[in-house]
Amino acid sequence: MTSAPLLRVDDLAVSLRLADGRLLPILSDISFAIGRGETLGIVGESGSGKTILSLAVIGLLPESAVVSGQILFDGKPLTGLDDKSLCRIRGSRIGMIFQEPTAALNPAMTIADQVAEGIVLHRGNSWREARRQAIELLDRVRIDQAVRRADDYPHELSGGQRQRVGIAIALALEPELLIADEPTTALDATVQREVLGILTEFVREKDMALMLVSHNLGVVAHMASRMLVLYAGTRMEEGETADVLGDPRNPYTRGLLAALPGRTGRGRRMASIRGTVPSLAHLPPGCRFAGRCPDEIPLCSQDEPGWRAFGAARGVRCLRALTTESV
């Protein structure tokens, strides 16, 4: 990265205040940065905290969330901003695409109006002008016959088309940062390819920064130059995508790669990670991956290993990672 990154997350921790007043830690020790024109893939299974991380960055955490650490957007802290200032940034400078397009769209509003809404609110354009721009955007995200479909309601579209509308809404104001939380998980493979292609266009042409959250390693490998692996609420490994996938240093990352179907050949038993992801309320002592890790030693259950940076912008959380390196 040449200049200061567009988004910088420093030592972020998020806890939720439970009904009985206790704090349940959801995320801890999260740091990363994304530059303009860069795509960071954030990989995590369910319970990894990846959705809470997306919500934290766009400032949509529930009221009960307690946040520490810093989120810097274009050099200015987002954490602690009041709602009014956040609203000015949200939508216009930071956009978001959600996993379920059906849930993210307003069922009682035409698709053109939903795309135009942000343009009217943030740019002060007339509805007439905003709708004209909306149709252009719908065309841009390859909604067939955008002019004719502009007055359709979400239920009249297929899942893939709805997700394109979600993308058009997020991109309407040409945000500098786009957060995409599992943007293609609900889509068929052929449609997924097209939707990812549209995102890539915006990253290239508008120099947009893309924070791509996905459980799908194939999607991340295809899209992201850098990747961050989350597990049970913290980061386990980070680096250039090719480095992390080619030379994973955390046993969890290695386990995920080994568990990909096809790694062992047709009809052969697959490598799996034993056990299941622990719930955040019952994390094991020490390393969060202890109990499931094939390389575990007694020391792993004592203290949680710290984050260690090494090599070319890589980092890993594992007691044994850097000792095996020196072997």
- The reply on whether position 256 binds other proteins by CB under 8 A is yes
Q: Least distance from C-beta 268 to other proteins, angstroms? A: 8
- The reply on whether position 267 binds other proteins by CB under 8 A is yes
The smaller minimum CB distance to other proteins, of residues 109 and 277, is found at: 277
Q: Are 138 and 150 in contact (CB under 8 A)?
A: yes
Positions in 281-320 near other proteins (CB under 8 A): none
CB proximity list for 213: less than 8 A, separation 6 or greater? 42, 44, 50, 51, 53, 54, 179, 180, 181, 182
Q: Least distance from C-beta 238 to other proteins, angstroms? A: 17
The smaller minimum CB distance to other proteins, of residues 140 and 222, is found at: 222
Q: Least distance from C-beta 284 to other proteins, angstroms? A: 15
For the residues of 51-74, what is the DSSP string, one character each? HHHHHHHHT---TTEEEEEEEEET
Positions in 159-188 near other proteins (CB under 8 A): 159, 188
Query: Contacting other proteins (CB under 8 A), which of 65, 66, 221, 283?
Result: 221
Q: Least distance from C-beta 182 to other proteins, angstroms? A: 13
- The reply on whether position 215 binds other proteins by CB under 8 A is yes
Query: Contacting other proteins (CB under 8 A), which of 2, 3, 145, 272?
Result: 272
Number of CB atoms found within 10 A of residue 8's CB? 18
Dihedral in degrees, nearest 10, Cα atoms 137, 175, 45, 271: 70
Q: How far is CA 137 from the centre of its chain?
A: 23
Burial of 7 by CB count in 10 Å (0-12 exposed, 13-18 middle, 19+ buried)?
A: buried
Positions in 55-94 near other proteins (CB under 8 A): none
- The reply on whether position 250 binds other proteins by CB under 8 A is no
How many of the chain's residues bind other proteins (CB under 8 A)?
35
The b-or-e profile of 244-263 (16+ CB within 10 A means b, else e) is bbeebbbbbbbbbebeeeee
Q: Which residues pair with 235 in a beta bridge?
A: 230
The first and second tokens of residue 163, run together, are 């997700």
Among 85-93, 165-173, 261-269, 294-302, which window interacts with other proteins (CB under 8 A)? 261-269
92: left (phi over 0), alpha (psi -120 to 50) or beta: alpha
The smaller minimum CB distance to other proteins, of residues 171 and 187, is found at: 187
Site string for other proteins, 8-47 (x = CB under 8 A): -------------------------------------xx-
Q: What's the rounded Cα separation, in Å, for the pair 155 and 132? A: 22
Query: Contacting other proteins (CB under 8 A), which of 132, 259, 283, 308?
Result: 259
Q: Least distance from C-beta 283 to other proteins, angstroms? A: 15
- The reply on whether position 323 binds other proteins by CB under 8 A is no
| End-to-end C-alpha distance for the chain, whole angstroms | 31
Q: What's the rounded Cα separation, in Å, for the pair 17 and 25? A: 9
Query: In degrees, to the nearest 5, what angle opens at C-alpha 244 toward C-alphas 241 and 188?
Result: 55
- The reply on whether position 198 binds other proteins by CB under 8 A is no
Among 49-57, 61-69, 119-127, 250-258, which window interacts with other proteins (CB under 8 A)? 250-258
The first and second tokens of residue 16, run together, are 């939720």
Q: What does the binding site for other proteins look like in residue numbers (CB under 8 A)?
A: 45-46, 159, 188-193, 215-219, 221-222, 245, 255-257, 259-262, 264, 266-273, 276-277
